[in-house]
């Protein structure tokens, strides 16, 4: 079937149908915008170089050189944590420094090998291949490629916001646990014990205890000396590159004294070459499946750790971050590290902090650090061969102990219970579970705590403060006997509505005479159909007891959602109140002044303060709290006006307080306050029509209803009270 002929602003599809230009242009424009943004992720270096200022070159070179001095020994050490050849750590340091810097979002975040990620790489690879085998090395590169693809996909899909849902407590707990595992695992190199590497704390401790008698004492002494020197350096010369100095000194000692010929194990010569392209088993899908859980864990923990570091530094430098761009940068760094004989990387806190302290001004500082490591690898490779493994073990033990951030751990333990649970769960999962699952446990704990927090929003009763300027939670103070006021501190979605409903119904059960409810909605930013149904149920419950529900400070998007679901009309437009007039409106138009004057001693609102205090009466007086609808006869103001013009007009009895009466009343009305009226009903004649009047009609309705039950068949009420009388402009008498 052919579409109707279109205007000139139309195009034809492949089959010749005329399609309106508007039909095509809107989605095409959207696709073009998405496509251009995606392309811009990968053209980030063009933007960096185009906007580079020559004045930044010197500080960037200094920062890059300083970071490289720290990066060089770390790259070698962290590759040994993963039981990979030292050159793989150097290749990863070179590529990640350049790629992570140029394609990332942060100026100061430095990407490269890290302790925690290296341990996670080892934990994933150990069950799949023997250490040092070709499969072990290729699997490390393949997993880095998988991590990179995963991270790039998240960035291109604009899912950078996901890192906000993973608590920093996961990183603190995982890092502390990883630090302990690394330190314990390096004891075998410190003691030079011939036992296999393991990511299991229990297995490692068992093997160490079993083979402790085989300790090589010269290796242990050299390692302990290295640890002692590092501790002294951190104490007295904290800005010096301690690991590099210790490694150079010990390499010189081994080379000059020939200690490698006397049982001291060294790392061996490092190849002097550019990072070579690795021949990865990209079609080995079975291996990919085996690596998938570890790749997801490394990808997730790497992104969370990197973004946490970047955000921390950006808060000090006032730099604006793009989390999606950072995801792409981290992903490309991992992808190319895997492709060029490296392994998985992420942001490093220590090197990023150095970058910031050295006042790096652009991402080129990170690229320079990678270039300097490449130069150092060519120049220092022959000498690095003499670095003892026991010294590297000592360096790693010192670094791993620093990973246990005792200050931050104590802050979390003193903070919220949820953060403490996440941290402790992540810590013990790291120690006793396979690491790839330990990371996922921590992330799942984060989500679980988040869901728990959002599904249990605080529903707290509030009352005006002493100065009547704010509403605060005052559990020890008596509430208003007619009106309950609650703050809902959270969203009303399907996971939270049961908690909110239970809290409000518990209040209803404990305050059966409180017939009205005011919900302060300022903290409610989202509501779904479950939330709407919960509000409807609460409204029904209050209306069944003769009361009602009102909403205050409701955000416009929430109001629009309530309109679209018909709840707005169901509740009533006049039930949505603004902050400034809510209490005043409820006090004068909704609450029963009879209860306010005669039964309430709380006087919680500013409007209550000028009410007359009830006087003691010798007779027991019972006020009718409920009145059947339609049982009280009444007349409107105009009807009363015409009857007052007749010779035999009704007697008007105003049951308000004297102060109210003096401010304005119906001419010829007689003032008999309600309590005095009930104290002596003989004041009301039975042989003459009587009309009771009050401010809004509630007190006069009580009087009319009570007297009609006492046998007075000539009593009526002025419907709407003096408010209705004043509204249509009828005359009033004022007593001076």
CA-to-CA distance for 126 and 674, rounded, in angstroms? 88
Whether 346 is catalytic: no
Helix (H) or strand (E) holding 323, with range, is helix 323-339
Q: Which helix (H) or strand (E) holds 519?
A: strand 516-520
**Residue reference for tokens 């040994």:** 80
CB atoms near residue 505 (< 10 Å): 13
CA–chain centroid gap for 505, Å, is 28
Report helix angle 406-414 to 417-432, nearest 10. 130
Taking the C-alpha atoms of residue 668 and residue 467, their distance in angstroms, rounded to an integer, is 40
Look at residue 266 and give its three-state secondary structure.
strand
> Sign (positive/negative) of CA torsion 566, 570, 573, 578?
negative
Contact between residue 119 and residue 294 where contact means Cβ atoms under 8 Å apart: no
- How many other CB atoms sit within 10 Å of the CB of residue 111? 36
Strands 651-654, 690-693: pairing kind: parallel
DSSP string for 446-489: HHHHHHHHHHS-EEEE-EE-TTSSSEE--TTSPPPSSEEEEEEE
Residue 154 CA, distance from chain mean position: 19
Cα–Cα nearest to 345, from 65, 99, 69: 99
Nearest to 73 by CA among 305, 243, 263: 243
Contact 104, 373 (CB under 8 A): no
In sequence order, what DSSP letters do the residues of 12-25 get, joined into one string?
E-TT--EEEHHHHH
Using CA atoms, how far apart are residues 267 and 393, in angstroms rounded to an integer? 11
Residue 520 bridge partners (DSSP): 487, 552
The residues that bridge with 18 in the sheet, in sequence order, are: 12
The tally of CA atoms less than 13 A away on the side-chain side of residue 720 is: 12
Q: Residue 526 has which token pair?
A: 């989202």
Angle at alpha carbon of residue 529, lines to 523 and 533, rounded to 5°: 90
Residues facing residue 471 across a β-bridge: 464
* Alpha-carbon distances, residue 445 vs 120, 426, 428 (angstroms): 19, 8, 13
How would you classify residue 22: left for phi > 0, otherwise alpha for psi between -120 and 50, otherwise beta? alpha
As a three-state string, the secondary structure of 27-71 is HHHHHHHHHHHHHHHHCHHHHHHHCCCHHHHHHHHHHHHHHHHHH
Alpha carbon distance 663, 514 (integer Å): 30
Cα separations in angstroms, 98 against 45, 92, 93, 199, 698: 10, 10, 9, 30, 79
Q: Let me know: does 167 contact 390? Beta carbons within 8 Å.
A: no
Between CA 442 and CA 428 the distance in angstroms is: 10
**What does the alpha-carbon distance between residue 287 and residue 283 come to, in Å, rounded to a whole number?**
9
- Tell how strand 516-520 and strand 548-552 pair up: parallel
Report DSSP letters for 629-651, one per residue: TT-S-EE-HHHHHHHHTSTTPPE
Q: Do 107 and 52 form a contact (C-beta atoms < 8 A)?
A: no
State the catalytic residue, choosing from 346, 480, 600, 694: 694
The residue assigned the tokens 């103001």 is 637
> CA 239, CA 160: separation in Å to the nearest integer?
34
- List strand residue ranges (DSSP E) for 101-142, in order: 110-112
Catalytic residues: 694
């Amino acid at each position: 079937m052919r579409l109707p002929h279109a205007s000139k602003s139309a195009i034809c599809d492949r089959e010749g149908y005329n399609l309106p230009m508007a039909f095509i242009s809107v989605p095409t424009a959207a696709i073009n915008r998405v496509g251009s943004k995606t392309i811009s992720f990968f053209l980030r270096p063009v933007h960096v170089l185009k906007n580079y200022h020559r004045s930044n070159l010197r500080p960037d070179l200094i920062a890059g050189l300083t970071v490289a001095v720290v990066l060089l020994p770390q790259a070698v050490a962290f590759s040994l944590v993963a039981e990979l050849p030292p050159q793989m750590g150097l290749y990863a340091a070179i590529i990640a420094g350049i790629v992570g810097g140029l394609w990332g979002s942060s100026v100061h975040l430095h990407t490269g090998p890290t302790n925690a990620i290296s341990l996670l790489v080892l934990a994933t690879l150990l069950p799949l291949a023997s250490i040092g085998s070709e499969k072990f090395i290729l699997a490390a590169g393949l997993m880095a490629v998988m991590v990179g693809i995963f991270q790039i996909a998240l960035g291109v899909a604009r899912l950078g916001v996901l890192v906000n849902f993973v608590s920093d407590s996961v990183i603190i707990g995982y890092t502390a646990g990883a630090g302990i595992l690394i330190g314990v695992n390096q004891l075998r190199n410190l003691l030079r014990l011939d036992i296999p590497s393991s990511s299991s704390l229990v297995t490692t401790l068992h093997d160490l205890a079993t083979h402790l008698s085989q300790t090589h004492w010269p290796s242990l002494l050299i390692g302990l000396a290295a640890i002692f020197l590092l501790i002294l350096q951190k104490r007295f010369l904290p800005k010096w590159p301690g690991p590099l100095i210790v490694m150079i000194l010990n390499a010189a000692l081994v080379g000059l004294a020939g200690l490698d010929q006397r049982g001291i194990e060294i790392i061996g010569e490092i190849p002097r070459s550019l990072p070579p392209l690795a021949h990865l088993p990209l079609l080995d899908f079975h291996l990919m499946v085996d690596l998938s859980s570890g790749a997801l864990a490394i990808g997730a923990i790497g992104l969370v750790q990197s973004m946490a570091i970047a955000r921390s530094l950006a808060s000090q430098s006032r730099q604006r971050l793009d989390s999606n761009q950072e995801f792409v940068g981290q992903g490309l760094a991992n992808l190319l590290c895997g492709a060029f004989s490296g392994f998985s990387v992420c942001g490093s806190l220590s090197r990023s902090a150095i970058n910031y302290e050295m006042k790096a001004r652009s991402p080129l500082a990170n690229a320079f650090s990678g270039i300097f490591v490449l130069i150092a690898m060519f120049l220092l490779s022959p000498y690095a061969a003499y670095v003892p493994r026991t010294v590297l073990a000592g360096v790693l033990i010192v670094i791993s102990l620093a990973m246990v951030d005792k200050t931050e751990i104590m802050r979390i333990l003193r903070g919220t219970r949820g953060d403490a649970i996440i941290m402790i769960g992540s810590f013990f999962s790291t120690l006793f579970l396979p690491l790839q699952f330990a990371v996922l446990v921590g992330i799942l704990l984060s989500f679980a705590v988040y869901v728990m927090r959002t599904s249990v929003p605080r529903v707290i009763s509030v009352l005006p403060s002493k100065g009547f300027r704010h509403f605060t939670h005052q559990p020890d103070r008596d509430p208003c006997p007619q009106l309950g006021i609650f703050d809902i501190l959270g969203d009303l979605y399907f996971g939270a509505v049961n908690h909110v409903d239970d809290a409000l119904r518990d209040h209803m059960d404990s305050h059966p005479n409180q017939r009205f409810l005011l919900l302060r909605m300022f903290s409610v930013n989202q509501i779904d159909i479950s939330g709407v149904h919960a509000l409807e149920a609460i409204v029904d419950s209050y209306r069944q007891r003769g009361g009602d529900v009102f909403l205050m400070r409701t955000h416009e998007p929430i109001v629009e959602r309530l309109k679209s679901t018909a709840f707005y009309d169901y509740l009533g437009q006049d039930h949505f109140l603004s902050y400034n007039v809510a209490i005043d409106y409820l006090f004068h138009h909704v609450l029963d002044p009879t209860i306010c004057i005669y039964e309430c001693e709380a006087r919680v609102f500013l409007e209550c303060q000028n009410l007359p205090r009830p006087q003691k009466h010798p007779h027991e007086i019972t006020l009718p709290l409920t009145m059947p609808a339609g049982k009280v006869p009444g007349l409107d103001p105009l009807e009363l006006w015409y009857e007052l013009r007749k010779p035999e007009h009704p007697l008007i009895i105003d049951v308000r307080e004297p102060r109210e009466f003096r401010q304005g009343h119906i001419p010829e009305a007689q003032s008999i306050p309600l309590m005095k009226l009930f104290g002596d009903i003989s004041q009301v004649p039975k042989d003459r029509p009587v009309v009771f009047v009050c401010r809004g009609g509630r007190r006069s309705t009580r009087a009319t209803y009570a007297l009609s039950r006492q046998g007075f068949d000539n009593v009526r009420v002025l419907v709407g009270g003096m408010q209705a009388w004043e509204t249509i402009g009828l005359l009033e008498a004022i007593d001076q």
